[in-house]
Structure 1
């Protein structure tokens, strides 16, 4: 390296010495298994020295130095993909606190900030590159997402070759031109290119075969570019935005990738090289945040507030007025401090079956293609999780066969960017031999992945198979289970339900006004806490024949708070008529003002 880059290196080392006195966090690693195959990966992006140079995905250079020093001081070992591959093949096992350090997007700071640290600490790094961002003259511009930025914001191929020759930096692909958004529905919502079926006014939605061919061509172009510039093809693909699907994994494997990096949180194992989980901290994460991530010790949200939404309340038959109503609903959810929305995917007919769907599909008539738009706007503008309700038992009664039900759910996953599935027509009870996990989201995900549906009742098996049909297109899919009526609870042992080991959230329904939730709060308080894990993996879902009064909703939330509980949802809710009244209810229920800390 040149003298110009040795100076920043010296500065980094001096900073490391300065921060040592306050590096107080200690590691409490929650390692799933001490088998020499597990590791934790973290995905960082840009690094910058000053606030005005900080992009949304950047980390302050001082904090990056502190993180490298913290890893060394707390017994963590940075490992390479080669180390993990050796362990996977039965060779040298990974150390107990193995960490895979990755940096996405190929920013210029990879060479000027990250590379000097890798040299100083002698740690390996996997750096992922988006091919189209590295094309052209360094004095020109490239398309970065949905805008033009200077080409010199990213590394040059000359710098890449220097870093690769050090033996410490391995380059992965982020595709050639899939690190951007494409039109995903008739309303023009822009969604990740790798997982979205492109919509065009003249031809409609892209066919699955065309989507597969488009992704294959892009990944092959990326590999060819990296062979030309670096002399070898990448073995790893880092999915842009962390979005991928079973089909995308198949394509990646077919074109030659042997590793795939996601942004799913949690520990990873060398046994599953095509679904490597990576913690992804938000902009300029603190040392405490980084330490918690590499230790797999992520805090639960201090409060969750969920509300249901019927698309029929927003859809008017006119795109402009429907969008206007959706915008008003989003602003109302912000006022309420809502963290999640459960939205219906289909209408219910007079016979109790599914009548029409709000998304394109092969099995039901289409009421209007608006579900994708509503889900995407809620996620990106309101900043909430969105789970979709599509009862599998009603679908079976309507469609007559499990095969048709699964096709319906496959289409839901293909066309709607949902974050979870809300199940209230099956209990999805796990077999007795399945251990109870009340830990992190990846515990529930692992339990679902290992579950044999043949051990479940017919309704529960269909619900789980339907979930997996959606999951093929949305592998990060969450599961919420409404376990039934809490009104019959007569003692502390029956309410709330134990968190279902398969579910991210387990709900107990409390019917109003006949069964005020205030009385159930005492049962919640009497439950032996294991504490935060169970409290924040189960909650009360308020139901009523009409919209819930704001005073009743506030009283219920306060009663749960006094009992030490923080997960509350309600239905029905009318965002157009503003019932319950948002301004009146917000002070008592908003997650933003929740007073209980753990």
Structure 2
């Protein structure tokens, strides 16, 4: 692809004082040079001057109106409105070409822009260099304070902070992964993880330094922070806000289910601490590719997911863990799904409840600090979106006395051990566990486990005994967990496992406290357990056809439901033949199902076989993802 869509951006414009509505497209550029190769330039973030000028021509010809960052701030505050098809141009990192190549074009067009330098790079001492993309950059490659002041004084350019020294990776776990500095608790072998207080002080000191330098040299303190690597959280945004930077930008997030016109547009929500997302202009798109990406309907992209047991990656031998991680990442890279649902808890006895977790926690036993390592490797090496697969109620807490007080007294012998969702202490402790996960790990979404159910004879007074109210109660419980995680990991997508029986037999909602329609409203994806052998279906294909027809007939069903197939017949137990997976995915696609996945994946034994896995869930099967 010529443009890398990390974000598509549209929410309803909410203004206190006016009902006017507008949309905002925010574009993120870096280096603009004359000598950028048409294809395969060593710097994928560089755009040629000619292509950049054509982007501006296309935007103007198609009715876009350039706005300043101040106009966006005013719109968020309710003291102004944005025009229809507003566009804000942003330039990250403070490269010299912004002055030599971009600024003349801005003056020619009369278009405003936002420039976000890394202030330590502006102040880079003579003789020092920083690694930037394919080579080392010296002070001559970055803007000077005089150039920044001149652009600011023109009235066209507003200067934002891109941090002072957060545009780098730091040790984010015991394995040495280099992870964005702004949102990572630094790991050291001597001290372990950085404390919350130390992290807070580090971020505040950095942003204050950047703010003060810009104010001193440019003449005005920044109102905007542009987060390096799009890495931020609500707490960091709160620090920036307290320092006067009331608007922030990242590169990620999507408005799922919004009424998108041109992809990449967004409304401006005035109250949230979430950053406004931007479209990263990537790999030097010419005007045809630029326009094509803006017009592409992202809602048509299908999800292809693999659910992965981290219990199968873990081993008592650290060397074997390394080999297992490498094997998993290589297999996912070879299959190329779009998503991995990665287990973040340990369930060695297979009863469905977490006996331990794979991230630092005060509330649960920790089997190993492994989730962040594997998630980071999958995201950066296999280029997939990682959802943390987590229980909702099934936790065997470290506090055994509290566990005894909160655990549901199940009437069935085979039920998953679960905590009582009606006791406020359950939400408190599980929310804390989700916050611990989000604080320590980098991931894109949450998969709520299949333990979020209630039998009709369990906690009979929950929801007043009304099936729909019990269903709603568990949904609200999961949304509270999402909120707890999003304080530290914003804009998480959500998926939740749903048993097939409530879809095929709506009356069984009373036995599960689950129903398809409210799931579709609550989550980005409903991960439907489309597993005919698990349900003892006599005719698996007929069963799948019936299930697919029911989902497609449900409003929003095809758009919001991911069919998760099984690759093992647990009754035997034995792996299902790879051709079975192929046949089932073909059947579901023909029936109108858009999103597909499977569980489990044996990355050691290579089952399902690679050709079968690729045909079933490779995102590269979508031709519109290839250019």
Report the Cα offset of residue 525 of structure 1: 6.1
Equivalent of 2:527, from 503, 507, 511? 507
Report the Cα offset of residue 220 of structure 1: 0.7
Equivalent of 1:459, from 461, 471, 474? 474
Equivalent of 1:157, from 145, 163, 175? 145
- Which residue pairs with 2:619 in the alignment? 591
Separation in 2, partners of 1:190, 1:481: 31
Distance 1:54 1:78, change over 3 A: farther
Distance 1:550 1:106, change over 3 A: same
Contact residue 375 and residue 417 of structure 1 kept, 8 A:
yes
Q: Which moved more, 1:544-553 or 1:285-294?
A: 285-294
Equivalent of 2:160, from 165, 169, 172? 172
- Which residue pairs with 1:125 in the alignment? 113
Give me the TM-score of the superposition, normalised by structure 1: 0.82
Matches within 5 A, 1:205-284: 205-265=193-253, 267-269=266-268, 271-272=270-271, 274=273, 275-284=275-284
- Which residue pairs with 2:459 in the alignment? none
Report the Cα offset of residue 353 of structure 1: 3.4
- Which residue pairs with 1:35 in the alignment? 20
Distance 1:115 1:427, change over 3 A: farther
Report the Cα offset of residue 511 of structure 1: 1.6
Q: Which moved more, 1:236-245 or 1:457-466?
A: 457-466
Q: Does 2:84 correspond to 1:96?
A: yes
Contact residue 360 and residue 440 of structure 2 kept, 8 A:
yes
Separation in 1, partners of 2:590, 2:60: 43
Contact residue 353 and residue 451 of structure 2 kept, 8 A:
no
SS at match of 1:511: coil
- Which residue pairs with 1:542 in the alignment? 565
- Which residue pairs with 1:483 in the alignment? 498
Separation in 1, partners of 2:434, 2:11: 35
Contact residue 253 and residue 491 of structure 2 kept, 8 A:
no
Separation in 2, partners of 1:170, 1:585: 49
What do the CA deviations read for 1:23-73 (whole angstroms, capped 9, x no partner)? xxxxxx978457246533222222233344661212232221111111211
Report the Cα offset of residue 125 of structure 1: 0.1
Separation in 2, partners of 1:131, 1:146: 21
Distance 1:246 1:517, change over 3 A: farther
SS at match of 1:194: helix
- Which residue pairs with 1:16 in the alignment? none
Separation in 2, partners of 1:584, 1:105: 44
- Which residue pairs with 1:105 in the alignment? 93
Contact residue 527 and residue 563 of structure 2 kept, 8 A:
yes
- Which residue pairs with 1:405 in the alignment? 430
Contact residue 246 and residue 473 of structure 1 kept, 8 A:
yes
Matches within 5 A, 1:439-450: none
SS at match of 1:392: coil
SS at match of 1:308: strand
Contact residue 63 and residue 287 of structure 1 kept, 8 A:
yes
What do the CA deviations read for 1:64-113 (whole angstroms, capped 9, x no partner)? 11111112111111111222334445444221222221111111221122
What do the CA deviations read for 1:393-430 (whole angstroms, capped 9, x no partner)? 113888433221111111011111111100133779xx
> Which one has more relative contact order, counting CA pairs under 8 Å at least 6 apart?
2
Contact residue 581 and residue 612 of structure 2 kept, 8 A:
no
Separation in 1, partners of 2:541, 2:289: 35
Report the Cα offset of residue 304 of structure 1: 2.6
Separation in 2, partners of 1:480, 1:179: 32
Report the Cα offset of residue 497 of structure 1: 4.9
Separation in 2, partners of 1:288, 1:486: 48
Distance 1:166 1:311, change over 3 A: same
RMSD of Structure 2 on Structure 1 (CA):
3.3
Distance 1:364 1:51, change over 3 A: same
Separation in 1, partners of 2:624, 2:76: 44
Distance 1:548 1:182, change over 3 A: farther
SS at match of 1:322: helix
Contact residue 108 and residue 155 of structure 1 kept, 8 A:
yes
Give me the TM-score of the superposition, normalised by structure 2: 0.78
- Which residue pairs with 1:44 in the alignment? 29
Equivalent of 1:142, from 119, 122, 130? 130
Aligned residues: 541
SS at match of 1:394: coil
Separation in 2, partners of 1:337, 1:142: 33
Q: Does 2:320 correspond to 1:321?
A: yes
Separation in 2, partners of 1:146, 1:202: 33
Contact residue 37 and residue 270 of structure 1 kept, 8 A:
no
Contact residue 378 and residue 384 of structure 1 kept, 8 A:
yes
What do the CA deviations read for 1:317-342 (whole angstroms, capped 9, x no partner)? 23332122111112212222322111
Any gaps of 5 or more consecutive residues in structure 2? 1-8, 14-18, 255-265, 407-424, 454-468, 510-514
Matches within 5 A, 1:330-341: 330-341=329-340
Distance 1:336 1:88, change over 3 A: closer
Contact residue 118 and residue 164 of structure 2 kept, 8 A:
yes
What do the CA deviations read for 1:186-221 (whole angstroms, capped 9, x no partner)? 011111100010000000001111100000000011
Separation in 1, partners of 2:491, 2:289: 22
Report the Cα offset of residue 138 of structure 1: 6.2
Contact residue 341 and residue 389 of structure 2 kept, 8 A:
yes
Q: Which moved more, 1:200-209 or 1:566-575?
A: 566-575
Distance 1:380 1:549, change over 3 A: same
SS at match of 2:305: strand
